[in-house]
């Protein structure tokens, strides 16, 4: 176990990844802490009131926890491409009684400054960032407040930049990971480098403690990542069917569907590369979706919510990593402990 995590009282090296948009819940974060692991409140898509409420709920449990933020980048959508994409996906929205024609481009920063102010005024044990590298002053301020700062990276170059900015630890995310890639350059989908190889490459670039992530679904895969240089690992897909997860019913069902066609990396739902179970929407629109997060996220959000309510899995972002077939309905603590069982 890396010293920074041990200093927080973490002894289980299999950590619970943040999962924004529903699957990640305060109950899951608390369960991870009670398993001597570390979970993260997912700040993505939440306003300050909602985030504060979840942090307060987790803090009241008395366990160690972290908060994950989407660091804003500058990746605006092309207006003409956006309008063309609206026309392309309009039939999918209309299937649930929605009209996308009145929706404009929304480019926001997910309440970035307010969230940083909150974490500086009410410090938490750990903060992780994904999507971009925050300004070095933000990192220094959080560390000065006593917070452990972790950064998601997908390449040796990103790892070197994060080390230069002063973070404490790196979350090295391989392309097998479910959900959004943490790449700093979302116009380019990261290469399919196996996690052990990626960890070895990052170790040659920086000397920071590493957490491996992406495609870890069995105890042997966890052990392989540790042998490759990770002091800990992080799993998300493995917890999608956990008792404490807030994963929707159609998403849970799709994870075990016998006719599943595997996963794919797509921009179709959010304008940013993310690994999901293949469905009608990914197969039809992945090749025509423009780059542009968060504009496409806001565009498709009403359709995805309506499809979830109608239990229509063909128009939902079914985020999942390559190890999704190993998911199971069990308590979070049992899953984390089992994954660490051969270390």
User: Going from the N-terminus, what domains does the chain have, and what CATH number goes with each?
Assistant: 1-72+109-242+327-343 (3.20.20.70), 76-108+257-325 (no CATH)
**CA quadruple 41, 46, 244, 216: dihedral positive or negative?**
negative
* Cross-strand bridge partners of residue 148: 126
Mean pLDDT of 150-169: 98
CB 50 within 8 A of CB 263: no
Distance of CA 288 to the CA centre of its chain: 24
Statement: residue 310 has pLDDT above 90: yes
Exposure on the CB side of residue 215, measured as CA atoms within 13 A:
18
- Which tens digits make up the pLDDT trace of 253-296? 999 999 999 999 999 999 999 999 999 999 999 999 999 999 99
pTM above 0.75, yes or no: yes
Instruction: Provide, rounded to the nearest whole percent, the portion of the chain with pLDDT above 70.
Output: 99
Across the range 41-62, mean pLDDT stands at: 97
Bond preceding residue 296 cis, omega within 30 of 0: no
Please provide the size of the chain in residues.
343
Query: How far is residue 182's CA from residue 187's CA, in Å, rounded to a whole number?
Result: 12
Mean pLDDT (the chain, rounded): 96
pLDDT(1) > 90: no
pLDDT category, 244, cuts 50, 70, 90?
very high
Q: Residue 2 pLDDT > 70, yes or no?
A: no
In the prediction, which pLDDT does 101 show?
A: 80
- Tell me which residue has tokens 């590298």: 133
Residue 148 in this model has a pLDDT that exceeds 90: yes
Average pLDDT score over residue span 97-102: 88
Distance of CA 222 to the CA centre of its chain: 18
Beta bridge partners of 170: 151, 210
């Amino acid at each position: 176990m890396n010293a920074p995590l041990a200093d927080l009282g973490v002894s289980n090296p299999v950590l619970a990844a943040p999962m924004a948009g529903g699957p990640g819940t305060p109950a899951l974060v608390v369960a991870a802490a009670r398993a001597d692991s570390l979970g993260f409140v997912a700040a993505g898509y939440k306003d300050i009131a909602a985030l504060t409420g979840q942090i307060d709920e987790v803090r009241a449990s008395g366990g160690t926890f972290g908060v994950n933020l989407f660091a804003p980048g500058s990746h605006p959508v092309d207006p003409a491409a956006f309008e063309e994409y609206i026309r392309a996906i309009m039939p999918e929205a209309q299937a649930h009684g929605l009209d996308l024609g009145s929706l404009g481009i929304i480019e926001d920063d997910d309440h970035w400054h307010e969230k940083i102010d909150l974490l500086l005024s009410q410090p938490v044990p750990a903060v992780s960032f994904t999507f971009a590298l925050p300004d070095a002053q933000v990192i220094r301020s959080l560390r000065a407040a006593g917070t452990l700062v972790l950064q998601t990276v997908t390449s040796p170059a990103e790892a070197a930049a994060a080390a230069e900015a002063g973070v404490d630890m790196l979350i090295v995310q391989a392309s097998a990971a479910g959900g959004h890639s943490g790449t700093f350059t979302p116009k380019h989908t990261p290469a399919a480098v196996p996690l052990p190889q990626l960890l070895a490459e990052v170790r040659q670039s920086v000397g920071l403690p590493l957490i491996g992530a992406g495609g870890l679904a069995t105890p042997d895969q966890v052990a392989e990542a540790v042998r490759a240089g990770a002091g800990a690992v992080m799993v998300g897909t493995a917890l999608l069917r956990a008792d404490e997860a807030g994963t929707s019913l159609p998403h849970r069902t799709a994870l075990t569907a016998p006719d599943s066609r595997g996963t794919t990396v797509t921009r179709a739902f959010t304008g940013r590369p993310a690994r999901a179970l293949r469905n009608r929407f990914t197969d039809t629109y992945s090749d025509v979706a423009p780059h542009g997060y968060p504009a496409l996220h806001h565009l498709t959000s009403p359709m995805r919510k309506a499809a979830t309510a109608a239990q229509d899995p063909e128009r939902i972002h079914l985020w999942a990593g390559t190890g999704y077939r190993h998911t199971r309905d069990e308590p979070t603590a049992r899953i984390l402990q089992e994954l660490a069982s051969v270390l």
